[in-house]
């Protein structure tokens, strides 16, 4: 999949979604709420570690939120880890801690849904703001292979910005992303001659049987 021009030297970038928290399992949207991993998430992160043992990379970076840091530390014990707040999840503001039905009942929900890329929840961030900070982070990455632990919305906002994916409203889901990313899934991008291509999307084969993840050549 081809992408718009980027900035910087040749780079392989593997983005990892953090493992599960109790709020994830309960269907509550966390945003910047700093939850730690649940029991299931700890097991997921350790299984991810076995997967990453065969993946060569030059540096590891992470969101500074606890669930991402804990995932990285369990999966890469003893490896140096650089924390960057630009890799944080979207701030959902007043929507944090809510389920989708509770969010939909909020008086500000309809206005936000008109264009989540431009509009933010009360006290939160728009998707455009998330994409902008994620893009700024990629532009500072050196060449080689970077492994980065981040969050579902942040990763998909970055992918949308780099690859030109148009927003696609999803019935019963508050974000305009047709792609979902499972916990500890891997998505790999390559930057060559300033342009980005996507080579792996949401690959969680270390957690699932056949079909858990997929390599991609075209738009999902």
Name residue 197's beta-bridge partners. Answer: 190
Nearest of 172, 169, 177, 170 to residue 151 by alpha carbon:
177
Cα separation, 27 vs 25, whole angstroms: 6
Check if 18 is active-site.
yes
Catalytic, out of 44, 61, 89, 125: 89
Do the beta carbons of residue 161 and residue 215 sit within 8 Å?
Answer: no
Nearest of 7, 4, 2 to residue 141 by alpha carbon:
7
Buried-exposed string 169-193: b where 16+ CB fall within 10 A, e elsewhere: eeeeebbbbebebbbbbbbbbbbee
Cα separation, 77 vs 195, whole angstroms: 33
Cα separation, 104 vs 179, whole angstroms: 21
Check if 145 is active-site.
no
Catalytic, out of 18, 151, 183, 206: 18
Residue 84 has a CB neighbour count (10 Å cut-off) of 15
The catalytic site residues sit at 18, 89
């Amino acid at each position: 999949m081809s992408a718009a021009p980027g900035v910087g030297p040749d780079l392989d970038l593997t983005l990892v979604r953090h493992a599960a928290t109790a709020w994830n399992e309960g269907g509550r949207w966390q945003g910047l709420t700093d939850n730690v991993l649940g029991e299931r998430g700890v097991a997921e992160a350790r299984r991810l570690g076995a997967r990453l043992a065969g993946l060569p990379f030059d540096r590891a970076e992470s969101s500074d939120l606890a669930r991402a840091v804990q995932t990285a530390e369990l999966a890469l014990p003893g490896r140096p880890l650089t924390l960057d707040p630009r890799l944080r999840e979207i701030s959902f503001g007043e929507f944090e801690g809510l389920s989708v039905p509770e969010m939909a009942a909020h008086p500000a929900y309809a206005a936000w849904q008109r264009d989540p890329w431009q509009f933010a929840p009360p006290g939160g961030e728009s998707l455009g703001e998330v994409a902008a900070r994620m893009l700024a982070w990629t532009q500072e990455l050196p060449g080689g292979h970077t492994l980065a632990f981040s969050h579902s919305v942040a990763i998909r906002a970055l992918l949308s910005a780099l690859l030109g994916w148009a927003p696609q409203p999803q019935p019963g889901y508050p974000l305009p992303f047709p792609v979902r990313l499972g916990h500890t899934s891997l998505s790999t991008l390559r930057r060559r001659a300033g342009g980005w291509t996507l080579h792996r999307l949401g690959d969680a084969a270390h957690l699932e049987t056949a079909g858990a993840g997929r390599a991609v050549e075209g738009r999902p």
